[in-house]
Amino acid sequence: MTRSAVLTPHGALEPGPLAAILANHAIPGCEVPDRSGRSHTRLLTTPGGPRRVTVTVRPGDVGLTADTDDDGEFAHLVRTTRAWLDLDTDVAAVARAFDGDPLLGPLVRRRPGLRAVGYPESFEAAIMTVLGQQVSVAAGGTFGGRLAAAYGTPTDAGLTLFPTPQAIADAPHEELRAAVGVTRTRAATVQNVARAVAGGLSLDPGGDHAALRKELLALPGIGPWSADYLAVRVLRDPDAFTPGDLVARRAMGGPSIRDAERRSEAWRPYRAYALFHLWTAATYSGA
């Protein structure tokens, strides 16, 4: 049985950029984007198991359909989707905070409903962040699709469930490296993260963000950019920022990492939203 709901955002919504980030970061085999229809299909975890969902991004709301007949599961999927797509943030407050800024003011006036889109599955996000280090978004997606094909779980819904931490942790190192097509160092980082999560590392948005950052940076292969990116996309910290991000710095006019960090101080407590405005200005050409 399929259930459906209309998810209304708090304030404005920019459907083009939201649908684009979902499509651009889709994992082949695990997610099916429909760019023309601005819809996105994938599996989401519920207490009763993974369920196939489709979100359709429209100018004023988001449509959600889910393959479940359980009221509790569907309510869980609604909450997950609202958090994933950042539908509950008061973006008008963000717009007011940035209105007088010479760089961000024009950007937020152009797209006042821009959302800080997260990830619905934290472990998947952590692995995809590692696979996306120093490569294009498309290449990172290709690596993720290979990893899922090798170690994920096919489902009756026609989608592959992303590999579990234990499945990646237990894979022979050279086998995993060859299957994904990454360097031995990158494969080792993927397995370092998987072993840490399998061993109890929690990527919970409700946890201690500073403590988690220290734990992440202690893992071989995880540097400041990855830890900062996860703070933005997984921990959903509205004030997180990635001063080392090349795309954001290019949109800022090319400052050094130190200067980007210093300049971002003026954007507290919404630095994550500043980041999304910078990313969108640099990469999104649609309406």
Residues with catalytic roles = 245
Q: Locate 210 and state its tokens.
A: 């500073």
Query: Is the dihedral angle over the CA atoms 150, 156, 161, 163 positive or is it negative?
Result: negative
Distance of CA 124 to the CA centre of its chain: 9
Name residues whose C-beta falls within 8 Å of residue 245's C-beta, 6 or more positions apart in sequence: 225, 228, 229, 275, 279
ω before 165 within 30° of 0 (cis)?
A: no
Q: What share of the chain is helix, strand, coil (3-state, %, to 5)?
A: 50, 15, 35
* Phi, psi of 59, deg, nearest 5: -55, -35
Give the Å distances, CA to CA, from 116 to 185, 194, 235. 30, 25, 11
